[in-house]
Amino acid sequence: MNNQLLKGAVKIKGSADFSRFRISLIIMAMMLLTVTLNAAEFVVDKATSKVNWEAKKVTGKHNGTISFESGSVSVNDNKISGGTFVIDMKTIANTDITDAGMKAKLMGHLASDDFFAVAKFPESKLVIKQVTPVSAGEFHFLADLTIKGITNPVEFNAKVSISGDKLNADGVITVNRTLFGIKYGSGSFFEGLGDKVIYDDFTLAFDVVAQKK
């Protein structure tokens, strides 16, 4: 009789343990499903996304555009959690010079080894590493920027909005070109340049449009 009671107790305990285990599995599955549902990837729309560059020198400035080669943004709980953007350096263009000859000369110089060495390094890349809220709709980004095969950290603020299947983000990144081996005309490295000094910093003003994958 005692053996039968013991067997029954073991059976009941085993059933309870199995039920708790099964409930734990169901909860874990629901949590994973929730994470999956809240995670999404947005792909950059190259046709509508824009990057405008501006570089200054003692005697003035130049500006222009450059295009995305590709890009994707990771979103969790309706907030950006990561992303990778590839810039096609071959698309760099000037918009402030009207003389065709002078424009071609500047573009040739920017593509040369003095600046971006486009033939050797046809792509630049930005990889988002950390995102911190600043205010409603505005975030602080830490990212790794690669130009001419050299990677350095950059940080910037951007306004971000996500509505349905569409994501918009715009901001300005300030880049110290000398950190990427671009020292031509830099007063930080060469003396006696006078009014031929080109400032070390240039800016990239971006307007990213992305669609949910």
Asked if residue 200 belongs to a domain, the reply is: yes
Q: What is the pTM of this model?
A: 0.81
For residue 17, being part of any structural domain is answered with no
> Could you tell me if residue 190 is inside a domain?
yes
Query: Are the CB atoms for 115 and 74 separated by under 8 Å?
Result: no
User: Which residue bears the tokens 């590839």?
Assistant: 86
Instruction: Show the DSSP H helices in the chain as ranges.
Output: 2-38, 100-111
Q: Which domain holds residue 71?
A: 39-212
Residue 111 lies in a domain: yes
Residue of 30 and 67 predicted with greater confidence: 67
CB count in 10 Å sphere of residue 180? 20
Contact between 105 and 121 (Cβ < 8 Å) = no
For 16-26, how does the pLDDT look when each residue is reduced to its tens digit (9 = 90+)? 565 665 665 55
CB atoms within 10 A of CB 89: 22
Instruction: Note whether residue 6 is domain-resident.
Output: no
> Per-residue pLDDT tens for 42-67?
999 999 999 999 999 999 999 999 99
Residue 4 lies in a domain: no
**CB–CB of 178/12 below 8 Å?**
no
Torsion sign across C-alpha atoms 146, 144, 61, 44: positive
- Comparing CA positions, the residue from 169, 172, 181 lying closest to residue 202 is 172
Q: Give the number of C-alpha atoms closer than 13 A to the C-alpha of residue 112, restricted to the C-beta side.
A: 9
100-135 pLDDT, tens digit each: 999 999 999 999 999 999 999 999 999 999 999 999
Helices (H) and strands (E) in the chain, counts: 2, 9
Residues 168 and 155: beta-carbon distance below 8 Å: no
Q: Which domain CATH number covers 186?
A: 2.40.128.110
Q: Are 189 and 183 in contact (CB under 8 A)?
A: yes
Please report which confidence band the pLDDT of residue 35 belongs to, taking 50, 70 and 90 as the band edges. very low
Q: How many domains does the chain have?
A: 1
- Compute the distance between CA of residue 213 and CA of residue 207 in angstroms, rounded to an integer: 19
**20 within a domain of the structure (yes/no):** no
- Is residue 127, in this structure, part of any structural domain at all? yes
